[in-house]
A and B are shown apart, each in its own frame.
Chain A
Amino acid sequence: MKKTLIDFIKKFGTARVIILAFFIFLCLTAVVFQMDLAKLLTSSLGRIGMWGVLVLAMLPAISSGIGPNFGVSLGILCGLIGSLTSLELAYRMGDSLMMSGGVLFFIAIIISLPFAIIVGIAYGWLLNRVKGSEMMIATYVGFSMVSIMKIAWLVLPYDSPEMAWPIGRGVRVQISLAGRGITRILDNFLAFRIGEVKIPTGLYLFFAVMCLLVWLFMRSKSGIAMHAAGKNPRFAEAAGINVNKYRIIGTTLSTVLGAIGILVYAQSYGFIQLYEGPMFMPFVAVAAVLIGGASIKNATITHVVVGTALFLGIQVVAVPVANAFTAEWSSMGEISRKIIQNGVILYALTQARGE
């Protein structure tokens, strides 16, 4: 019995076991303090579904060998442009086209796709030139782009009243989606209740479809080639696989998923967050997939799902539990997130086999 426990810990990773134990502890504490479990569960389900596709974006990146995509903020920016443009279109066309929330959501996706594909290919080309330092470059390219887009948000010609500042140029920091009926359009689709808990069916259906698409891709000829290119580039070259090409494909897929992911996130949250918003989102997604069991070189869909559930579940439950302990510990939620998130990434970095 003891041996199997030790084996389990070794296989799952010490850090992960600690995090899992922490989560269970939080849940038990919530029960002991007789907190509103239904509300907590509803919150958790919402949060997890919100981040799902963004964490999924890590999979093609890790598979193709460029490591966790710290630069998925590029994809996020493409998605944001898509959403802003779709809102602008709705405003410019007036109500003559009667675009509903759902339609707008899908238009946003369609608009962001070409941006995401082009950006993904360029970004992938850059990563091919910096093999061995992808993570660092990804981080700083991401930071730089978010920074320069801050200037762009101030000068781009978006006029829709819900987006633009009433005085002066530029778009607001946070844009509400409620006015166009986009808020929770996926979440509420086919949603139902079990007791007091609300299940956001549409959200999870969408996430499941995205996972399915990725899974199918990984079984295709391209997916298999990409997997080999990421696992052992020398083997792949010897097998006639163009490693550089598949790294670009992986990067592009990751960027596209990032764009779609932020749109899912925004519709669930109810707001589009510009300026500083996308800056640190990649780190959450990276930490989530690592917590789920992935490593710098290996990730599966199971890792994505488990990691998202665990990491984001903890975030939701930690805040009220900390508050229940003492009111002064109100920041513990945020602090524990910082520590866990970055601690997990550090742990994964020490596990990656050297050059």
Chain B
Amino acid sequence: MKSETNIPELKTKPEFKNAVRDFTTRNMVTILFVVMALAGFIVSGMSPMMFLMDIISRVSRNAFLVLSLIIPVVAGMGLNFSIVLGAMAGQTVLIFVTHWGINGLPGILLCFLLVTPLAMFLGFLTGKLFNRTKGQEMITGLILGFFAQGIYELIFLQLVGGIIPMQNKTLVMSSGVGIRTTVDLTNGLKYGLDWPGLSFDMPELLRPTLPHTIIGLFIIGIVGFLVYRFVFKRKLPSKIKLISWFIIGVLAVVWSVNQINSASMINMIRVPVLTWIVILLLCFFIIFFKKTKLGQDMRSVGQDRYVAASSGIEVDRVRIIAVMMSMVMAAWGHIIFLQNLGAFSTYGSHEQIGLYSVAALLIGGATVTNASISHALLGVFLFHSLFIVSPSSGRTLFGNAQVGEYFRVFVAYGVIGVSLAMHAWKKLLQNKNKLGV
């Protein structure tokens, strides 16, 4: 393209203005949410410490779930509302592992192991269903979620304890039939992944404080960059991005050192590094997968089923695999979610999973046809920031925290509704253009 030093060039007035304008229009939704979250934070009067603690917790437990939505989008099946089934699989396994009394990190690993074939099976069935309803996958997924809820309730509310024998005073209701409405994982699987050292009496294991984590990340970032550039000799992302990340990094490190020195409350916040490593591994897997032949096939199917089929790709098979992968990721993601939450409502937890995960992905800038890791991670951060500040903002602005709570749910539905409408509109226009009108 242009010469190596393109920063001074970019400062040329018209180009700079254009670049800014382009950036704003393309990322309008995201920018809107950044503004809302910021405004909400200021209005709510929350302390930074509370906010940071909450956001780290939320991002850690939700990121995996949101990442599981990426592959179906790439494969052209839109927003996968049926990850609810993966969540239900996760819950099922959690209940049984808790029943068998296996706790802590080993328990969680067992859960991951057991849930995988279950989720794959559910994903297979779902994929077959999606292939029968091509063009209407999203509504099918949504309704399937409701349907599966009915089956789940049938099994766990009516059959367990009776037809499916289970003797467990803590889990099963006093009547002997049906799992209790809340399952408490404390002293069991709670924090199994977040605090891996808990069962070994090492509560600080793999849980550095926030300032330490930031400094650590910065160092890893620099090392990683150097390795990437000089050892692997790969091309770099744009200079502007690098410079801005570097500046952010330096600021964060300065802030962290300041916090350590002033011995503020921030030093109490601990980061679940093991969970973050797991999330990072998923990100690497997704990046790697997109480069494999199967990944490329999925992208072709996602862009145009007919062209993909005429290139010899088995479209139906690829779609089923995409759904299966998503389901397994969702199941793992839900296990991660619940081990952090510590207790869950047996019959209600999974309801909002689809809604909140999809909304988060869209807020991060994804669309029905395009989703990436950065969308997922940014979206989780923004959505949950808004989530945290809404009730307090509601109380400050309207004297009623309930308004804030209703507002955040409305935001989730609204974002999805608008994204769907825009996507459908664009699709119509695209088809009209294809006809050469």
Confirm or deny: A354 has a beta carbon within 8 angstroms of a beta carbon on chain B. yes
Q: Of B142-150, B249-257, B266-274, which stretch is located at the interface?
A: B142-150
- Is the pair A342, B153 in contact by a Cβ cutoff of 8 Å? no
Is the Cβ of B139 less than 8 Å from the Cβ of A350? Answer: no
- Report A-chain residues with C-beta under 8 Å of the C-beta of B157: 331, 335
CB–CB B153/A151 < 8 A? no
B200 at the interface (CB under 8 A from A): no
- The answer to whether B428 touches A132 (Cβ under 8 A) is yes
Q: Out of A139, A151, A337, A342, name the residue touching B406 (CB < 8 Å).
A: A151
> Interface size on A (CB < 8 Å)?
47
Q: State whether A335 and B143 are in contact (beta carbons under 8 Å apart), knowing that A137-B421, A151-B407 are contacts in the complex.
A: no
Give Cα A168–Cα B129 distance, bound, in whole angstroms.
Answer: 49
| Max chain B Cβ within 10 angstroms of own Cβ: one of A136, A141, A170, A338 | A136
Given contacts A328-B177, A335-B154, A339-B151, contact A133 B406 (CB under 8 A): no
Given A140-B416, A154-B402, A339-B147, residue A346 in contact with residue B129 (CB < 8 A): yes
Q: Decide if the interface of chain B is mainly helix, strand, loop or mixed.
A: helix
CA A147 to CA B408, docked complex, whole Å? 9
Look across to chain B and name the residue whose beta carbon is closest to the beta carbon of A327. Answer: B175
Complex contacts, A130 vs chain B, CB 8 Å: 420-421, 424-425, 428
Interface positions of A from 127 to 182, Cβ below 8 Å from B: 129-133, 135-137, 139-141, 143-144, 147-148, 150-151, 154-155, 168-170
- Asked if A332 is at the interface of the complex by the 8 Å CB criterion, the answer is yes
CA of A47 to CA of B407 in the docked complex: distance in angstroms? 34
Q: How far is the CB of A26 from chain B (nearest CB, A)?
A: 16
A151-B410 in contact given A133-B427, A343-B147 (Cβ < 8 Å) = yes
Q: Which residue of A lies closest to B428 (CB)?
A: A131
Question: What are the residues of chain B within 8 A of A350 when measuring CB–CB?
Answer: 129, 132-133
Interface residues of B in 359-417 (CB under 8 A from A): 398, 400, 402-403, 406-407, 409-410, 413-414, 416-417
The chain A residue sitting closest to B394, CB to CB, is: A151
Does A257 have its Cβ within 8 Å of any Cβ on chain B?
Answer: no
Shortest distance between the CB of A314 and any CB in chain B (Å)? 14
Which residues of the partner chain B approach A349 to less than 8 Å between Cβ atoms? 133, 136, 139-140, 143
Find out whether the CB atom of A342 lies under 8 angstroms from the CB atom of B134.
no
**Is the CB–CB distance between A147 and B413 below 8 Å?**
yes
Complex contacts, A151 vs chain B, CB 8 Å: 403, 406-407, 410
What's the minimum C-beta distance from B402 to chain A, rounded to whole angstroms? Answer: 7
A28 to B176, CA, bound (A): 29
Is there a chain B Cβ closer than 8 Å to A329's Cβ? yes
- Interface of A: prevailing SS: helix
Q: Which residue from B147, B177, B403, B407 sits with its C-beta under 8 Å from A342?
A: B147
Is A211 among interface residues, defined by CB-CB distance under 8 A? no
Decide if B406 touches A147 in the complex (CB within 8 Å): yes
- Measured in the bound complex, the distance between the Cα atoms of B355 and A147 in whole Å is 13
Q: Is A355 an interface residue (CB 8 A)?
A: yes
A129 near B428 with CB under 8 A, answer yes
Chain A residues whose CB sits within 8 angstroms of the CB of B138 once the complex forms: 133, 136
Contact A338/B153 with A136-B420, A328-B176, A355-B135 known, Cβ cut-off 8 Å = yes
> Is there a chain A Cβ closer than 8 Å to B162's Cβ?
yes
B178 CB within 8 Å of chain A = yes
Residues of B within 8 A of A (CB): 129, 132-136, 138-140, 142-144, 146-147, 149-151, 153-154, 157-158, 162, 175-178, 398, 400, 402-403, 406-407, 409-410, 413-414, 416-417, 420-421, 423-425, 427-428
Closest 8 pairs (CB-CB, A-B): A338-B150, A130-B424, A342-B147, A140-B417, A133-B424, A339-B150, A147-B410, A328-B177
